[in-house]
Structure 1
Amino acid sequence: MNSLGRTLEREDWLTIVSRMVPADLRLYYPDGDQGAFWRRVRESGEHREEVREIRAEAERLRQEKNPELTFSLFTIYANRGTRLEYERVYFERRRRLNTFVLLALLDPDDQDAEHELLDMIWSVCGEYTWCLPAHLGEDGHDRAIDLFAAETGFTLGEIALLLQGRLPKLLQTRIEAEVNRRLFWPFLRSAPYEWETATHNWAAVCAGSVGAAALLLLRDPEALSAILQRVQASLECYLQGFGADGACPEGPGYWNYGFGYFVYFADLLARRTLGEADLFALDKVRRIAEFQQKCYLGGDRVANFSDALPHCRVQIGLSYELARRYKSVQLPPPGLRADYRDDHCSRWAPAFRNLIWKNGTAGGEQDRDWPAASYDLPDAQWLVSRHRSTAGSFGFAAKGGHNGEPHNHNDLGHFILIAAGDTFAADLGSGEYTADYFGTGRYRYDCNGSQGHSVPIINGRYQAEGERHAAAVLEAATGETRDALRLDLTGAYDEAGLERFIRSFVWNKTELPVLELTDEFRFVSPPETLAERVVTPLPPAMLGNGEVLLAAGGGGKRALRIVYDGQRLEPDVQPHTFRNHFGQDETWYSLDFIVKQPGLIERVRLRFEFV
Structure 2
Amino acid sequence: MNQQELLDMIRKETPLQISHYYPRESQEAFWKRAAQSAEWQDRIAEIRAEGLRLDHLDIPELTFSLFIAFARTGSRLEYERVYFERRRRLNTYTFLVLLEPDNPVHLGRLEDILWSVCGEFSWCLPAHLPADFAISEIERHIDLFSAETGFSLSEIALLLGERLTPLLRTRIQDEVQRRIFLPFLTYGPYHWETARHNWSAVCAGSIGAAAMLALDDPDKLSHILLRTERSMHYYLEGFGEDGACTEGLGYWNYGFGYFTYYSDLLRARSGGRLDWFQNDKVRSIALFQQKCFIGGSLVANFSDSLPRIRIHMGLSHYLADRFPGVDSPPDGLRAPYTEDHCSRWAPALRNLIWTRQGVQTEEWASGSYYLPDAAWVVARHEPSSSGKVYGFAAKGGHNDEPHNHNDLGHFILAGGGEIYAADLGSGEYTADYFGAGRYQYACNGAQGHSVPVINGRYQSAGREYAAEVLHASAAPDKDELVVELSGAYETPGLKSLVRSLVWHKEPLPRLELCDEYSCEGAPESWTERFVTWRRPELLEAGTVLLPGSAGGGVEVHYDDKLVQPEITAREYRDHSGRETLWHTLDFHVLHPGPEGRLAFTFQFLS
In which range does the TM-score fall when normalised by the shorter chain? over 0.9
Q: Give the TM-score normalised by structure 1.
A: 0.97
1:432 is aligned, of 428, 437, 445, to 428
Q: Distance in 1 between matches of 2:188 and 2:92?
A: 36
Partner of 1:194: 191
1:381 is aligned, of 358, 372, 375, to 375
Structure 1 residue 13: Cα displacement? 1.2
Alignment of 1:276 onto 2:273: yes
Contact 1:470/1:492 (<8 A) preserved: yes
Contact 1:419/1:558 (<8 A) preserved: no
Structure 1 residue 22: Cα displacement? 2.0
Structure 1 runs not aligned, ≥5 long: 1-7
Q: Distance in 2 between matches of 1:295 and 1:173?
A: 44
**Greater Cα shift, 140-149 or 564-573:** 140-149
Structure 1 residue 361: Cα displacement? 4.2
- Aligned partner of residue 162 in structure 2, secondary structure: coil
Q: Distance in 2 between matches of 1:205 and 1:46?
A: 31
1:76 is aligned, of 62, 69, 82, to 69
Which residue identity lines up with residue 32 of structure 2 in the other structure? Answer: R
Contact 1:402/1:466 (<8 A) preserved: yes
CA offset digits 1:71-120 (Å, max 9, x no partner): 01000000001000000000000000000000000010111111100000
2:489 is aligned, of 483, 487, 493, to 493
Partner of 1:166: 163
2:147 is aligned, of 146, 150, 158, to 150
Partner of 1:366: 361
Structure 1 residue 9: Cα displacement? 1.6
Contact 2:16/2:268 (<8 A) preserved: no
CA offset digits 1:383-431 (Å, max 9, x no partner): 0000001332100000000000000000000000000000000000000
Q: Distance in 2 between matches of 1:271 and 1:293?
A: 27
CA offset digits 1:523-572 (Å, max 9, x no partner): 01100100000000111000122000011222xx4310000000111000
1:399 is aligned, of 379, 395, 399, to 395
**Greater Cα shift, 398-407 or 132-141:** 132-141
Structure 1 residue 31: Cα displacement? 4.6
1:462 is aligned, of 449, 458, 461, to 458
- Aligned partner of residue 474 in structure 1, secondary structure: strand
Which residue identity lines up with residue 183 of structure 1 in the other structure? Answer: I
Alignment of 1:90 onto 2:90: no
1:126 is aligned, of 119, 144, 152, to 119
Which residue identity lines up with residue 532 of structure 2 in the other structure? Answer: T
Contact 1:420/1:558 (<8 A) preserved: no
- Aligned partner of residue 148 in structure 2, secondary structure: helix
- Aligned partner of residue 141 in structure 1, secondary structure: helix
- Aligned partner of residue 72 in structure 1, secondary structure: helix
Which residue identity lines up with residue 207 of structure 1 in the other structure? Answer: A
Which residue identity lines up with residue 262 of structure 1 in the other structure? Answer: F
- Aligned partner of residue 273 in structure 2, secondary structure: coil
Structure 1 residue 24: Cα displacement? 1.2
Q: Distance in 1 between matches of 2:436 and 2:194?
A: 23
Q: Distance in 2 between matches of 1:20 and 1:125?
A: 30
Structure 1 residue 34: Cα displacement? 0.6
Which residue identity lines up with residue 498 of structure 2 in the other structure? Answer: I
Contact 2:522/2:592 (<8 A) preserved: yes
Q: Distance in 1 between matches of 2:415 and 2:373?
A: 27
Q: Distance in 1 between matches of 2:549 and 2:113?
A: 47
Alignment of 1:103 onto 2:100: no
Partner of 1:610: 604
Alignment of 1:58 onto 2:57: no
Q: Distance in 1 between matches of 2:205 and 2:340?
A: 19
Partner of 1:116: 109
Alignment of 1:229-308 (within 5 A): 229-308=226-305
2:320 is aligned, of 320, 323, 336, to 323
CA offset digits 1:193-241 (Å, max 9, x no partner): 0000000000000000000000000010110000000000011000000
Which residue identity lines up with residue 606 of structure 1 in the other structure? Answer: F
Contact 1:484/1:505 (<8 A) preserved: yes
Partner of 1:444: 440
Structure 2 runs not aligned, ≥5 long: none
**Greater Cα shift, 201-210 or 106-115:** 106-115
Structure 1 residue 46: Cα displacement? 2.8
Q: Distance in 2 between matches of 1:327 and 1:598?
A: 53
- Aligned partner of residue 210 in structure 1, secondary structure: helix
Contact 1:386/1:393 (<8 A) preserved: yes
Q: Distance in 2 between matches of 1:496 and 1:20?
A: 64
Contact 1:97/1:117 (<8 A) preserved: yes
Q: Give the TM-score normalised by structure 2.
A: 0.98
- Aligned partner of residue 528 in structure 1, secondary structure: coil
- Aligned partner of residue 397 in structure 1, secondary structure: strand
CA offset digits 1:453-474 (Å, max 9, x no partner): 0000000000000011001111
Which residue identity lines up with residue 413 of structure 1 in the other structure? Answer: G
1:572 is aligned, of 566, 574, 577, to 566
Alignment of 1:355 onto 2:348: no
Q: Distance in 2 between matches of 1:16 and 1:594?
A: 67
Contact 1:27/1:272 (<8 A) preserved: no
Q: Distance in 2 between matches of 1:243 and 1:403?
A: 16
Identity of aligned residues (%): 55
Partner of 2:202: 205
CA offset digits 1:147-170 (Å, max 9, x no partner): 000000000000000000101000
Partner of 1:552: 548
Structure 1 residue 32: Cα displacement? 5.9
Structure 1 residue 45: Cα displacement? 1.8
